[in-house]
Structure 1
Amino acid sequence: MSDSPPGAVDLLGVLAYAELTAFLKLAEDAAALAPSLTDRAALSDLAVAEYGHFELLRDRLAALGQDPEAAMAPFVAPLDDWHAQTKPGDWLEALVKAYVGTGIAGDFYREAARQAEPETRKLVDEVLAEESRSEFAVERVRAALAENPKDAGRLALWARRLVGEALSQAHRLAATRPELALLLVAGGAVDGTSDAGQIGIGRLFSRLTEEHGKRMSALGLVPGP
């Protein structure tokens, strides 16, 4: 991978495992939480798409001479922890997680991909395209809130929790995977603990939070202070 910046394998590895776990969690939520067969089928379709993304990333790693399992291994524990800490309690929480929680994680990966070589950047953009998931989640959540506006408060709190957990995990990844952090903060060495690194990552997280606000508005939820 001589034409790629340091950290590109980390980026592909973390994203591959994120897509694999997204497939598993969406399939689980479809079976356990979907209120109708139509919703179950729709969420299952999204799960299948996530698995297709995983295959693309796995194949890219293999084509680069990397062991996909080894590339994913450093990210298994943090991503599994995030899913364990953000297990949805009902259908609406599952939809908000699929849109808001997964969306802010995708923003993190897009930021890293800006510094990668064009082929990897193009693949990341393809994998993270979220039109179908966005339309599905927004439509269902807005319809539910129109029927029961009282759900807005608890879903806003749930979204805030999702994002807080996601940013905490992202910060830990940036601190422990310095080559991945180099992709996130342009200019100068970043080890995740230096003053320059902390300032750069802080600015990154501000941008991620801004995108979160846009998703909350799309759902009909108002971000908390």
Structure 2
Amino acid sequence: MSDSPQAPGVVDLLGVLAYAELTGFLRMAEDATRFAPTLTDRAALSDLAATEYAHFRLLSQWLESLGVDPEAAMEPFVTALDDWHTQTQPSDWLEALVKAYAGNGIALDFYREAARHLDSATKNLVDEAVADEGRSEFAVERVRAAIEADPKVSGRLALWARRLVGEALSQGQRVAAARPSLAQMLVDAHGEDLAEISRMFARLTEAHGKRMSALGLTPGP
């Protein structure tokens, strides 16, 4: 692995993704303890958190194989990601589920886009680190059941999901400004063609819309 040629920004991409997985693990574990209404629900969200931690370990080991200190690679992104979690603290179980499924999902889609044209080993690593493999399906089932039981919660959760995405985009801009290599990676991956970059954002929007629809929520503007 350490012999693979590394494009500019690869360490930054792996660092931000590793810290995203670590904080995802910590926040989901906390939300499972604070909000889960049953032990079964607590176990389900804890299982998703454990997957996040496994992905973090995978990324950390890869960074070490490249001769990079994982803590040093993650450090530039601590403030932005911590701020996102601080500004998007769920107030109840349903908000925690929407954040775990839709909020984290759009961020992981972005990392996947950034890795599209990297060397195959790194791209496969990123794909593995952001893979869901149906583990979050329980979140969809719980949210849809709650909406069926009380349709009024749909509007509140749709607004919450839009807030999650808005905050994620805001923090993403901060990261791009602080680490130009990540922004350059997206340009390199999609070329200077503005139409191709527009298609990238269309893919992100489409994927988010599908998640919202799966939850039984309207994507909104």
- Is the structural similarity TM-score above 0.5? yes
Deviation at 1:62, TM superposition (A): 0.2
Counterpart residue type for residue 224 of structure 1: G
Counterpart for residue 179 of structure 1: 181
Q: 1:199 to 1:170 in 2, by over 3 A?
A: farther
How many Å separate the matches in 1 of 2:219 and 2:190? 34
Counterpart for residue 7 of structure 2: 5
Deviation at 1:168, TM superposition (A): 1.2
How many Å separate the matches in 1 of 2:54 and 2:89? 23
Residue pairs, 1:43-192, within 5 angstroms: 43-186=45-188
How many Å separate the matches in 2 of 1:12 and 1:61? 7
Deviation at 1:171, TM superposition (A): 1.9
CA contact (8 A) 2:95 2:157 kept: yes
How many Å separate the matches in 2 of 1:61 and 1:25? 23
> Gaps spanning 5+ residues in structure 2: where?
none
CA contact (8 A) 1:98 1:133 kept: no
Query: Which of 196, 207, 210 does residue 211 from structure 1 map onto?
Result: 207
Identity, in percent, stands at 68
1:27 aligns with 2:25: no
How many Å separate the matches in 1 of 2:33 and 2:207? 30
CA contact (8 A) 2:29 2:49 kept: yes
Deviation at 1:35, TM superposition (A): 0.4
Deviation at 1:206, TM superposition (A): 3.8
Counterpart residue type for residue 207 of structure 1: R
Deviation at 1:169, TM superposition (A): 1.2
CA contact (8 A) 2:190 2:196 kept: no
Q: 1:155 to 1:170 in 2, by over 3 A?
A: same
Q: 1:177 to 1:84 in 2, by over 3 A?
A: same
Length-normalised TM-score, structure 1: 0.91
Deviation at 1:188, TM superposition (A): 9.2
How many Å separate the matches in 1 of 2:126 and 2:190? 24
1:115-171 per-residue CA deviation (whole Å, 9 max, x = no partner) reads 221111101111111133431111111111111111000000000000001111112
How many residue pairs get matched?
Answer: 219
1:157-205 per-residue CA deviation (whole Å, 9 max, x = no partner) reads 000000001111112222221111122123799xxxxxx6998766544
Counterpart for residue 193 of structure 1: none
Length-normalised TM-score, structure 2: 0.92
How many Å separate the matches in 2 of 1:188 and 1:91? 38
